[in-house]
Amino acid sequence: MYQSSLSIVQNKLKIINDPVHGFIKIPHEILFDVIEHPYFQRLRRISQTGLLSLIFPGAKHTRFHHALGAMNLMFKALETLKLKGIKISKEEEEAAMLAILLHDIGHGPFSHALENRLMDDWHHEKISILLMNRLNEEFGGKLDLAIEMFKGQYHRMFFNQLISSQLDVDRMDYLKRDSFYTGVSEGDVNVERIISMMNVSEEKLVIDAKGIYSIENYLTARMFMYWQVYYHKTAALAEHVLVQILNRAKYLVSQNLELDAPSNLKYFLVKNKFDEATEEDVRRFTLLDDMDVFQAIKEWTENPDFILARLCRIVIYRDFPKSIISSKPFCEEFLKQNIEKVNQYFHINSGEELVGQISRTLLPYDTEKQPIYLMDKTGNKFKLEESENQILFGCMENATQKYIFYCPREVWDLK
């Protein structure tokens, strides 16, 4: 039966129903094409918050969810600025939405937890640029401007700031989204209010002065989310154990011991030199996801190596060591004593793999790194900390550090 050419043209201007933001528009066809690409679809299989679901069971959302949410907030921010008289071309809008959509494309399995562990010091932003350049080739240069914005090199600074700054749409989405999925209401920031207060002065992002309390609330919400969720002592320990597992696996492979693992993960366990990413490196990386790592961890719970099996059972059976959090570091003698007890109890000589301390540091607001500017009705600009109306800034300008000690429960319970 005859079909007209119009009847087979795919509608790419979709609407996606998101539990956090409601309906998300895809206003440009190139956005749809990028979302459909295998590089982006892989983000469906990359956790947004690593192993956080072991502590907050609802935290099962992915980088795919987050990227779409950040793109949606970018669209709303640009619409707000246009209503305030800021000239933004269709090409600029498209590029800004592409840049934020792809800002996490380079994340590996379990997101930040395994950062730099698979490809030496290849930070996810470095891999993101590499993958964006490849997509740009596929799409005939349509991502040129998006890549320029992502690198922070576009001459209209506010576009760069919306993508990466202390008040970017990336942070606004992950705070609200992670708050929603963890059930921790302290992170539920009013992004609509913040976006409505955005403005531009001399091509830089500013906030209307009357929005100061929304900004302070946003900064304190971020501080609470870090200490209550991301840096929760068990969450921090879960992330640390995940890193230990991969380090131990790579060590065993380097000793010519055979480890069962999915082929794409095994490739990165074996290979150690990544000065330049080869075609095979990129192909393998873009096929790797949480499922590969989790499958390996399940397999390794029965590994003959005591340390690897022990670490893997922590994750699979949620059998965490005893942990204590402190504002001061634990002394070396205390650590050494517990390592010796672990060695004696398990009849091993590598107790330092099961006992130790980790630290987490947070600076809620950096007064030097891209400070947030307010603008009054006369057009006068001033930094957030210079506002006479600020009330919470004093507790956000200093870094806080916490230390977490961990030790096998069997040994700790002997005390």
For 345-357, write each residue's pLDDT tens digit.
999 999 999 999 9
Angle in degrees, CA 15, 19, 24, rounded to 5? 25
- Predicted pLDDT at 5: 46
Higher pLDDT, 107 or 92: 92
Binned at pLDDT 50, 70 and 90, residue 2 comes out as very low
Phi/psi region, residue 387 (left: phi>0; alpha: psi -120 to 50; beta: rest), is beta
Higher pLDDT, 119 or 333: 333
How far apart are the C-alpha atoms of 102 and 346, rounded to whole Å?
47
Q: Which strand ranges, in their side-by-side order, compose the sheet holding 356-362?
A: 322-326, 400-407, 356-362
DSSP state of 8: G
- Predicted pLDDT at 396: 80
Nearest to 109 by CA among 45, 193, 174, 155: 45
Task: State yes or no: pLDDT of 164 exceeds 90.
Answer: yes
CATH class of 235-320: mainly alpha
- Predicted pLDDT at 25: 93
For 211-246, write each residue's pLDDT tens digit.
999 999 999 999 999 999 999 999 999 999 999 999
The lowest-confidence range among 133-137, 290-294, 382-386, 410-414 is: 410-414
Work out whether strand 400-407 and strand 356-362 pair parallel, antiparallel, or are unpaired.
Answer: antiparallel
Q: Across the chain, what does the average pLDDT equal?
A: 92
For 308-321, write each residue's pLDDT tens digit.
999 999 999 999 99
Amino acid letter, residue 57: P
Check if the beta carbon of residue 215 is closer than 8 Å to that of residue 372: yes
- Other Cβ atoms less than 10 A from the Cβ of 253: the count is 18
Question: Considering the chain, what percentage of its residues have pLDDT values greater than 90?
Answer: 82
- Predicted pLDDT at 1: 38
What mean pLDDT do residues 379-390 have? 88
Question: In sequence order, which residues have a C-beta less than 8 Å from that of residue 27 and are 6 or more positions away?
Answer: 13, 75, 93, 97
Check if the beta carbon of residue 227 is closer than 8 Å to that of residue 290: no
Domain borders along the chain are: 14-231, 235-320
CATH architecture of 14-231: Orthogonal Bundle (1.10)
